[in-house]
Amino acid sequence: MLKLFLPNEHVKSIFEIKPEDLKKKGIKGIVTDLDNTLVEWDRPSATPKLIEWFDSMRDHGILVTIVSNNNETRVKSFSDPLQIPFISLARKPMRRSFRRAVEQMGIKREEAVVIGDQLMTDVLGGNRGGFHTILVVPVVQTDGFWTKFNRKIERRILAFFRRKGMIEWNDQN
Question: Is the residue at 99 inside a domain?
Answer: yes
Could you check whether the bond before residue 85 is cis, i.e. omega within 30 degrees of 0?
no
pLDDT over threshold 60, residue 171: no
Q: Which residues span the domain enclosing 41?
A: 2-163
Assess if residue 119 is contained within a domain: yes
* 30 HSE (CA, 13 A, CB side): 28
Residue 170 lies in a domain: no
The pLDDT value given to residue 142: 64
When divided into structural domains, the chain yields a total of 1
Query: Chain-centre distance of CA 164, in angstroms?
Result: 25
Does any domain span residue 168?
A: no
User: Cβ distance 145 to 111 under 8 Å?
Assistant: no
CA atoms within 13 A on the CB side of 15: 8
φ, ψ of residue 87 to 5 degrees: the values are -130, 120
Instruction: Tell me the CATH number at 10.
Output: 3.40.50.1000
- 172 domain-assigned: no
Percent of the chain with pLDDT over 90: 76
Q: What pLDDT does residue 145 have?
A: 62
Res 173: pLDDT: 42
Cα–Cα distance for residue pair 125/121, rounded to 1 Å: 6
Task: For residue 79, name the pLDDT band (cuts at 50, 70, 90).
Answer: very high
**Which of residues 18 and 170 earns the better pLDDT score?**
18
Ramachandran category for residue 159: left, alpha or beta (phi over 0 → left; psi -120 to 50 → alpha): alpha
Does 173 map to a domain?
no
Q: Which residue from 29, 49, 47 is spatially nearest to 113, judged by alpha carbons?
A: 29
- Please determine, for residue 28, whether its predicted confidence score (pLDDT) is greater than 80: yes
Confirm whether 158 is domain-assigned. yes
Quote the pLDDT of residue 21.
Answer: 97
Would 169 be classed as within a structural domain? no
Question: Does residue 159 have a pLDDT over 90?
Answer: no
Provide Rg for the chain, Cα atoms.
15
pLDDT of 172 reads: 47
Average pLDDT value for residue range 88-112: 97
Between CA 127 and CA 9, with CA 5 as vertex, the angle to 5 degrees is: 75
Name the pLDDT band for 22 (thresholds 50, 70, 90).
very high
